[in-house]
Amino acid sequence: MKFFIDTADINEIRDLAETGLVDGVTTNPSLIAKTGRDFITTVREIAGIVPGPVSAEVTATDHATMLKEGQKLARIARNIAVKVPLTRDGLKTCRRLSDDGVMVNVTLCFSAAQALLAAKAGASFVSPFVGRLDDVATDGMQLIQDIVQIYRQYPGIKTEVLVASVRGPLHVVAAAKMGAHVATLPPNVLRQMYAHPLTDKGLAAFLEDWKKTGQSILGAADGLGTEGGADKRAAE
């Protein structure tokens, strides 16, 4: 499963990208507005930090303007995925952009029927919002399972299921078990995934035992000097 980061915070993106665990970034006008920075400048900077897909969303609602905005966003960098809403005009725009070789992320998906339309429109990604469905007493993960099952029936479908509105690690694990291709995570959720009290407890015990030895790995001889270490390895 690929992990995208759902943020427009440059510092967060740089920090998490250094872990080697980030495959892409998703943004939207709301996330960028929170930074107080210029939209185009922010998208360009993010695309320069992360080599994988960076979703940048159009703000128009009609097809003609969406298409112009999408084409402009696609020119920012080669790894831009233009994000369009799952509406009639959004799907028309997706078809045009995907035919021109532009990656498209069709967002705000809330049904399997919508996801099927996104695939037929040539979307690179479809973004079902699991957390928002959970908020209205609907099983968001069931939607992921339905979409994955449908897509698997048709080898010609290349659209990747991008699980969005993720609220915690359990959403990620459940989506991975179902075979979803991507999860886009708020930075705090990615950090939660590598935190476990038993890991912390075990590490503390190991370090305490090591401290009692009075040794230092960096301060110890490496055995590769002229005292036979290298010679012994060569002889073996």
Smallest Cα–Cα separation from 134: which of 103, 110, 107, 100? 110
Report the run of H or E that residue 207 belongs to, with start and end: helix 197-213
Report the run of H or E that residue 84 belongs to, with start and end: strand 80-85
Tell me whether strands 24-26 and 54-57 are parallel, antiparallel or unpaired: parallel
Smallest Cα–Cα separation from 2: which of 28, 20, 15, 14? 20
* Catalytic-residue membership of 201: no
Torsion of CA 64, 160, 41, 14, to 10 degrees: 170
Backbone phi and psi for residue 41, each to the nearest 5 degrees, phi listed first = -60, -40
Structure tokens at 190: 């990615």
As a whole number of angstroms, the distance between CA 3 and CA 23 comes to 5
Smallest Cα–Cα separation from 125: which of 223, 53, 71, 74? 53
Tell me whether strands 182-185 and 24-26 are parallel, antiparallel or unpaired: unpaired
User: Within 13 A of 222's CA, how many CA atoms are on the CB side?
Assistant: 5
Of residues 2, 68, 72, 83, which has the active-site annotation?
A: 83
| Residues with catalytic roles | 83
